[in-house]
Structure 1
């Protein structure tokens, strides 16, 4: 396939995890159907990506510096796309935050919103006008089940992901008029270094001493629950990449893709029982099972 026929793909957050795996997969496409611009904030982290493609894909992969929180950085990366346009934009850069809300510093909360929300919006601002003018394009955003339903001790992270859901739904309504598709890839726990890089209050942190005993106990239960979830049900990145490929290769992409069916019951519960109480109780049972049992015993 000639360079003119290749689909031009730009992906944010490619230093590790989903972004890296997707960039490698598309750049390694046997038919060379894609030209991939893999972007990351810190180019010193590009070695893992380059090692994964082993230098065999110089005609299908370029690595660009791009900090989604820096508007000028986003524009510089956009202007380095040799083809002058992007057919497929993947907004994947994101960070996590976990811990009791009372202990979160304003600057840390702001940084999560800067990356997950404003970083995504700034990226969309930069690339949407060209897609509109060309009357074609596909935007894929790495979503999260934390954007579909709330999780305790994840208020700031969920707030950022809930906001992305609203932004993407709003854009999808508009951009269908321009033949531009928007797809959210809703991921649950994934076996990446996301959990390692997650900003969180550690269980032994002295700041927890400022909390009431019940909150400390519930946080400990939640952290144990998260460890169990990541150990037992987290998906490999290759499973996630397959869902991205399904969306990318579809002639009529859906708005929302789920990487796992595990989220379906909770999403249905939330949308069918409109008062919200059944969902709140169910999440409590799932995330604090031991505390639920003790509470019931106390009542007996």
Structure 2
């Protein structure tokens, strides 16, 4: 039986690395995995996880999702000349008061999270259409379904991905190509380590007013509590990806926490958004005025 060819972006750590290892280690050897990353100097962690045991089920390729030629070069390295399952997982974050963010930093978020994902899909979509089947899975975020303070650009990029994927899904069903968004909440990965974050005491924060800085400090405390008490492990996320990959009738949206989170339900069901805004503010900034 021919292996299903899977290409995954953002495999130097976290979800991408764990998913690549799991699929390449499939006991039935159903998958040939191309694990891609922007910086091949970071491939040692992935190699350590597979310990050289998957020479015929795993290849590691350099691919920068913000560089169209890099994407095309990686595509040329796929010896099967087709990709059955494309996983767009590469992503970065940006956290801090909006008024201190540089234009370059904001552009980078959009280049990676939005345009990088779309460029990657653009490159592999014609092949999927030609073969009359395919799966596209995109690592989404609950931050693409409801806004988070001090994450304006990150949420904007993820909101945009929701719209792009929904638009594609409507069309691509006519080509037997299924699009799925894997909606993640907090996850124990290197995402926080790599996050571009304004730290308290940074010179750039002098541009912000004292009230904003007080609220930002409160938000950072909230984030620390959430990641300590509610973050999921990457293996939990990988199980959801596997459900989507192995389903004969995949859903458009998967929530890694199971059900739709209560705040998102509130946002969907209440008419004008006021209750959601008040609830979110109370959860994050309770006691901020004291």
What TM bracket, shorter-length normalisation?
over 0.9
Alignment-derived partner of residue 106 in structure 2: 109
* Deviation at residue 267 of structure 1 after TM alignment: 1.2
Q: Among residues 49, 68, 78, which one is paired with 2:75 in the alignment?
A: 78
- Three-state SS of the structure 1 residue aligned to 2:60 is strand
Query: Cα deviations across residues 185-204 of structure 1 (Å, max 9, x unaligned)?
Result: 00001001111110010012
Q: Distance in 1 between matches of 2:104 and 2:248?
A: 42
Kept in 2: contact 1:97–1:154 (CA 8 A):
yes
Q: Are 1:271 and 2:268 matched, yes or no?
A: yes
Q: Distance in 2 between matches of 1:277 and 1:116?
A: 28
Within 5 Å, which residues of 2 pair with 1:1-300?
2=1, 5-261=2-258, 264-291=261-288, 294=290
> Is the 1:13–1:40 contact (alpha carbons within 8 Å) kept by the matching residues of 2?
yes
Deviating beyond 3 angstroms after TM superposition, the runs of 4 or more aligned structure 1 residues are none
Matched position secondary structure for 1:142: strand
State the Cα deviation string for residues 258-296 of structure 1 (Å, max 9, x = none). Answer: 00147521111111112111111111011111226x3xx
Give the superposition deviation at 1:80.
Answer: 0.9
| Partner Cα distance (1:57, 1:96) in 2 | 32
Gaps of 5+ in 2: none
Measure the CA separation in 1 of the matches of 2:4 and 2:259.
Answer: 32
- Offset at 1:140? 0.2
Provide closer, same or farther for how the CA distance between residues 67 and 121 of structure 1 changes in structure 2, counting only shifts above 3 A: same
* SS of structure 1 residue aligned to 2:143: helix
Count of aligned pairs between the two proteins: 290
- The answer to whether the Cα contact below 8 Å between 1:117 and 1:163 also exists between their aligned partners in 2 is yes
- CA, structure 1 residues 291+213, in 2 after alignment: closer, same or farther (shift >3 Å)? same
Q: Relative to structure 2, which stretch is displaced further, 264-273 or 248-257?
A: 264-273
Q: Using the TM superposition, give the Cα deviation of residue 172 of structure 1 relative to its aligned residue in structure 2, in angstroms.
A: 0.2
Structure 1 residue 215, shift from structure 2 partner: 0.6
Unaligned runs of 5+ in 1: 295-300
